[in-house]
Amino acid sequence: MTTELIHIRAIHKVVGYLLAIEASVLALCSLIPLYTRESDMFAFLASSLITACFSVLFILFGKNENSRESLSRRDGYLVVVLSWTLFSLFGCLPFIISRYIPNFTNAFFETISGFTTTGASIVGNVEILPHGLLFWRSLTQWMGGLGIVFFTVAVLPFFGVGEVQLFAAEAIGPAHGKLHPRIGVSGRWILTLYVMLTVSCAIVLNICGMGFFDSVNHAMTTIATSGYSTRNASIGAFHSVLIEDVITIFTFLSGINFSLLFLLFFKGKIGKLLHDTEFLYYLGCTLGLSLVLGIVITANTQNSLRESLHLASFQVISMLTTTGFVTNDVYNWPAPVYMILSVAMCLGACAGSTTGGMKGVRSVILFRSLKNEANRILHPNAVLPVRVNGKVVPETTRQTIFTFTVCYVALIAISWIIYIIAGLNMSDAFYAATAFISNSGTAVGSFDAANSFDTTLSWDILSTGAKWYTCFLMLVSRLEIFAVLLIFTPAFWRKA
Amino acid sequence: MRIVIAGAGDVGTHLAKLLSGENQDITLIDDSKERLGSLDANFDLLTITASPTSIKDLREAEAGRADLFVAVTPDESRNIVACQLAHSLGAQKTLARVDNYEYLMPKIREYFTSIGVDSLIYPEMLAAKDIVDGLRQSWIRQWWEFADGALVMIGVKLRDNAQILNVPLYTLGSGLPYHIVAIVRDNETIIPGGSDTIQAGDLVYFMTMRKSIPIVRRIAGKEELPDIRDVIIMGGSRIAVRAAQLIGDSYNLKIIERDRARCHRLTELLSSRVMVINGDGRDPSLLVSEGISHTEAFIALTDSSETNILAGVAAKRFGVTKTIAEVENLDYITMAEKLDIGTVINKKKIAASHIYQMMLDADVSNVKCLTFANADVAEFVVKPGARVTRNTVKDLNLPRGATIGGLIRGHEGMLVSGGTQIVEGDHVVVFCLEGMIRKLEKLFN
């Protein structure tokens, strides 16, 4: 037993293994330029080599430590925050080395925006990027979709006891029941589902007329609900209602709790899904918001109601799941629509999915608590519990959720102010704040309307300081606020 | 019959007393000397201070030679283990008290038999069923079904507005869709003949068919009573939980419970349509603010019989039409009746009568020990060549204090008149004064 608080060697060892995965993934990416004969092959090989070197160094440093025994809860949080940061750091190497994004700040921004599935791009014209870099962008999102650590730990079979601490630190939304007594096995099952969803999405997109390379990329960013596209005009570039519908369906699926999806697809348990409070809420939000938006669009444009509903459902699901895909039409819509979409982004979809935002279960608990408060005025002596799925939510969980919500709203407010200081106007600053805090990354504001050709917003307009703040914000909200804030508290570093 | 009862709690003690009056050989065991008290000095039974789950102690109590082993300690797993042990020692039949309604499901039945537990009893569930029956037909004080409802027996308190008061019963005519089997007047049970009359304030037991219930309701003058929508339960006991779960969605239910921690537990046990209120159900201002004045039913289920009776009386003052009170203290039952509590629930009696039923030698599938009347209702299956098949009913010379209420032939319920001929295989429902069941058995075997 070691007496130290933070097990430095164990952390190094775990992070080393995680980086080894990134190094091998980077090496895999170099195969694409090999096929397309583009200029970015050297960049990938060099990045892979550098990452591998650091990986080996880390592993060697932590060699004498048995990580199975000594990874504590604290270490878990530290490893998660460290690995997200390091992954983004090494992940931006290909952009810099290939000189397509020479600026370090921009490259880092692009990578962390990928890993956190935010999908806010620095690159104005993505179509000039070589295929390898485009694929790497999509891949960062795909790895980040379920969580970098989740992804790597599920891939590596030799991870031991530390898994529990790592998964807890990276959890998406309030904890859900395990699928299997061993968390590593559950992780592998979820990963299998994730891969199968992605493959089927790619195949369907390909059938619907999207090219092979585009299908694969869009499938990855759809299932990860992240929103990087290989086209400047995002999904709008394909001018296909069919493709939009396919993306809508797959994004909706990815917004559902993966444990429930697993039970549905692999165990045939549809009842569990249909009785899940959060799923019903998610479904209700989707239908309700689509209807409202559809009516607003019909009233304000020349579209028929059917067209409007198609556009509205695509956009609502894209925003609710914080994917951030857009179609061309978005920029012709009236301003209140952006507000609806911003709210949708912040609410988010289901916990345990690849989405960002507050997550449905938190909203449900908040709304029900609110209802209870009203009820308490009428019945002062009543004991009013909040139930989710028929089970009473413990008081401590509610407290955590209240605190989370307060932090979340405060972060929106702070970010709003910071973006105003950084030079955006009032409404754009608000859209930017909500886009980053929800890991949606698509802000549809006035600042893009001028550029009718290039509809994907380039975040290059932000100042360097604002960009670094944004990187921090994306990471904080992807790790659900507390995980990152925790390591900045003195108590985290204090003994006992 | 040798009967070993493990657990000298409410149910066990009551059962032991009841059975010792029946000339059975009762051994009552419990690991607490205090609980056994001076039972063996006052009643004709043997008490042994022993653990129901100790093999040595069970041997000492001769559980292996018992015809019936009854485990009624408060802990269900202990009861099941005790039954298994007794069974393996050689007990003929075993019965365990449980707290989990899953165990009562027919599918599980075989499993319990295979591990040596022949019967299960869940007193809280039985009590809850009684409560729900009481709410469904709020003008009825007691309700009992035979053969899945082919025949029903209902007890109704008649007031001044009933249509059959003060006339001899024979003037009501024959071929009626109901049969009056008993009258309880001033704590006295009368098995009525044709010349008896019914007076206001009597509790009258009708035997009838399901389809004729509205007729009984009309002649009893109960048609104008409102149907129940809002229900308040005072005290979040286990019976309250079971009743709330059984009641279904048809009522607005509030449970008032004093203990805050228990309130939280209740919210976990119950669905969201039940409102749990933390407070004292005896506090009139709380009751008023929770709308007692437009509540139709008030059910008092706290641990204290006195509280329940008084709260029931208070609820009547607020205009509640149906009151139900759990009265565990047997001596208070008649008092509760005098104070006009609608239905009295007694867990011990319900459980004991349920167990008692198992021990009847004849093929009796139902015996209900009525709380108000010193009377039993029993359902007999007529065996081949039984004495009742030799004559029509009027020539049977039934003992005094017994009357045949009706019979079920095939799946059809029918009422019995003087000229009815009972045949083999009929299920005959008999209403008789307490302790007469064994005499009647001879008629049917």
Least CB–CB distance from A383: residue in B267, B286, B289: B267
Least Cα separation, residue A373 to chain B (angstroms): 14
CA-nearest residue to A390 within chain B is: B271
CA-nearest residue to B263 within chain A is: A383
What are the angstrom distances between the C-alpha of A42 and each of A47, A51, A100, A134, B412?
Answer: 8, 14, 13, 15, 91
Q: Where are the domains of chain A?
A: 1-172
What sign results for the dihedral spanned by CA atoms B208, B209, B215, B218?
A: positive
Phi-psi region of B444 (alpha: psi -120 to 50; beta: other; left: phi over 0): alpha
Residue B14 near residue B25, CB atoms below 8 Å = no
From chain B, pick out residues whose CB is under 8 angstroms from the CB of A384.
267, 275-276
pLDDT of residue A449: 39
In angstroms, rounded to a whole number, what is the distance separating the alpha carbons of residues A121 and A109? Answer: 8
In degrees and rounded to multiples of 5, residue A314 shows phi and psi of -60, -50
pLDDT of residue A87: 93
What are the angstrom distances between the C-alpha of A328 and each of A218, A234, A342?
Answer: 17, 8, 18
B151-157, strands of its sheet edge to edge: B142-146, B151-157, B203-208, B178-185, B188-190
B56 versus B405: the higher-pLDDT residue is B56
Q: Taking residues A155-169, what's their average pLDDT? A: 66
Least CB–CB distance from B276: residue in A383, A387, A390: A383
In degrees and rounded to multiples of 5, residue B358 shows phi and psi of -60, -25
Instruction: Indicate the average pLDDT of chain B.
Output: 83
Least CB–CB distance from A381: residue in B266, B267, B286: B286
Residues 6+ apart with CB under 8 A from B341: B309, B312, B313, B323, B324, B325, B327
In degrees and rounded to multiples of 5, residue B121 shows phi and psi of -135, 140
In angstroms, rounded to a whole number, what is the distance separating the alpha carbons of residues A134 and A126? Answer: 8
Residues 6+ apart with CB under 8 A from A442: A119, A120, A227, A318, A319, A324, A325, A326, A435, A457
Least CB–CB distance from A392: residue in B268, B286, B290: B268
Phi-psi region of A52 (alpha: psi -120 to 50; beta: other; left: phi over 0): alpha
Angle between helices A41-61 and A73-91 (to 10 degrees): 160
A315, A321, A326, A331: CA torsion to nearest 10: 60
**Cβ–Cβ below 8 Å for A391 and B268:** yes
From chain A, pick out residues whose CB is under 8 angstroms from the CB of B278.
381-383
CA-nearest residue to B267 within chain A is: A385
B36, B41, B46, B50: CA torsion to nearest 10: 30
**Cβ–Cβ below 8 Å for A381 and B264:** no
State the Cα angle at B245 between B244 and B251, rounded to 5°.
Answer: 55
pLDDT tens digits, one per residue of A11-28: 888 888 889 989 999 999
In angstroms, rounded to a whole number, what is the distance separating the alpha carbons of residues B169 and B374? Answer: 22
CA-nearest residue to A382 within chain B is: B277
**Cβ–Cβ below 8 Å for A390 and B266:** no
Burial label for A177, CB within 10 Å (0-12, 13-18, 19+), is exposed
Residue type, A28: L
pLDDT tens digits, one per residue of B2-28: 889 999 888 888 888 877 776 778 899
Find which of A168-182, B232-246, B327-341, B359-373 is predicted with most confidence, using mean pLDDT: B232-246
- B206: helix, strand or coil: strand
Confidence category of residue A453, pLDDT binned at 50, 70, 90 = very low
Weakest-pLDDT range from A207-211, B141-145, B402-406, B434-438? B434-438
Confidence category of residue B387, pLDDT binned at 50, 70, 90 = confident
Burial label for A395, CB within 10 Å (0-12, 13-18, 19+), is exposed
Least Cα separation, residue B136 to chain A (angstroms): 26
**Cβ–Cβ below 8 Å for A392 and B271:** no
**Cβ–Cβ below 8 Å for B276 and A392:** no
From chain B, pick out residues whose CB is under 8 angstroms from the CB of A388.
none
**Cβ–Cβ below 8 Å for B276 and A382:** yes
CA-nearest residue to A376 within chain B is: B277
From chain A, pick out residues whose CB is under 8 angstroms from the CB of B266.
383
Find which of A200-214, B129-143, B158-172, B429-443 is predicted with most confidence, using mean pLDDT: A200-214
Strand partners, B208: B152, B178
Closest CA to A114 of A74, A142, A83: A142
Q: Taking residues A320-335, what's their average pLDDT? A: 77
Least Cα separation, residue B267 to chain A (angstroms): 6
In degrees and rounded to multiples of 5, residue A247 shows phi and psi of -60, -40
- Among B267, B280, B288, the residue to mutate for chain A (most A Cβ within 10 A): B267
Give the max Cα distance, chain B: 66
| pLDDT higher than 90, residue B84 | yes
Q: Residues in chain B whose beta carbon is closer than 8 A to a beta carbon of chain A?
A: 260, 263-264, 266-268, 271-272, 275-279, 286, 289-290
pLDDT of residue B150: 78
pLDDT tens digits, one per residue of A409-425: 999 999 999 999 988 88
Strand partners, B421: B392
- Among A381, A387, A393, A395, the residue to mutate for chain B (most B Cβ within 10 A): A381
Least CB–CB distance from A382: residue in B264, B271, B275: B275
pLDDT tens digits, one per residue of A108-147: 999 999 999 888 888 777 888 899 999 999 999 999 888 8
From chain B, pick out residues whose CB is under 8 angstroms from the CB of A382.
275-278
What are the angstrom distances between the C-alpha of B369 and each of B105, B349, B400, B431?
Answer: 24, 7, 19, 11
Q: Taking residues B171-193, what's their average pLDDT? A: 80
**Cβ–Cβ below 8 Å for B278 and A382:** yes
**Cβ–Cβ below 8 Å for A390 and B268:** no
- B37: helix, strand or coil: coil
- Among A364, A368, A379, the residue to mutate for chain B (most B Cβ within 10 A): A379
ipTM of the complex: 0.71
pLDDT tens digits, one per residue of A347-361: 888 888 888 888 888
In angstroms, rounded to a whole number, what is the distance separating the alpha carbons of residues B242 and B132? Answer: 10
From chain A, pick out residues whose CB is under 8 angstroms from the CB of B276.
382-385
Residue B54 near residue B23, CB atoms below 8 Å = no
Residue B205 near residue B406, CB atoms below 8 Å = no
**Cβ–Cβ below 8 Å for B277 and A381:** yes
**Cβ–Cβ below 8 Å for B275 and A391:** no
Tokens of A478: 């992807």
**Cβ–Cβ below 8 Å for B268 and A381:** no
From chain A, pick out residues whose CB is under 8 angstroms from the CB of B267.
383-385, 392
Least CB–CB distance from A383: residue in B271, B277, B290: B277
Residue bearing tokens 């990860």: A224
Least CB–CB distance from B279: residue in A381, A384, A390: A381
In angstroms, rounded to a whole number, what is the distance separating the alpha carbons of residues A22 and A20? Answer: 5
Least CB–CB distance from A379: residue in B264, B272, B277: B277
Residue bearing tokens 């694409």: A32
Least CB–CB distance from B277: residue in A382, A385, A391: A382
- Among B277, B280, B282, B283, the residue to mutate for chain A (most A Cβ within 10 A): B277
Least Cα separation, residue A77 to chain B (angstroms): 33
Closest CA to B334 of B188, B139, B196, B231: B188
User: How many inter-chain contacts (A to B, CB under 8 Å) are there?
Assistant: 36
**Cβ–Cβ below 8 Å for A383 and B279:** no
From chain B, pick out residues whose CB is under 8 angstroms from the CB of A385.
264, 267-268, 272, 276
**Cβ–Cβ below 8 Å for B271 and A390:** yes
From chain B, pick out residues whose CB is under 8 angstroms from the CB of A383.
260, 263-264, 266-267, 276-278
| pLDDT higher than 90, residue A496 | no
**Percentage of chain A lying above the pLDDT 70 cut:** 90
Q: Taking residues A463-488, what's their average pLDDT? A: 89
- B99: helix, strand or coil: coil
From chain B, pick out residues whose CB is under 8 angstroms from the CB of A391.
268
For chain B, domains (ranges, CATH) are 2-121 (3.40.50.720), 230-320 (3.40.50.720), 352-444 (3.30.70.1450)
Residue bearing tokens 């002062």: A380
**If contacts are CB pairs under 8 Å, which of residues 371-430 in chain A contact chain B?**
379-385, 387, 390-392
From chain A, pick out residues whose CB is under 8 angstroms from the CB of B290.
379, 381
- Among B254, B262, B263, the residue to mutate for chain A (most A Cβ within 10 A): B263
Q: How many residues does chain B have?
A: 445
| pLDDT higher than 50, residue B364 | no
In angstroms, rounded to a whole number, what is the distance separating the alpha carbons of residues A322 and A356? Answer: 6
Decide the pairing of beta strands B142-146 and B151-157. antiparallel
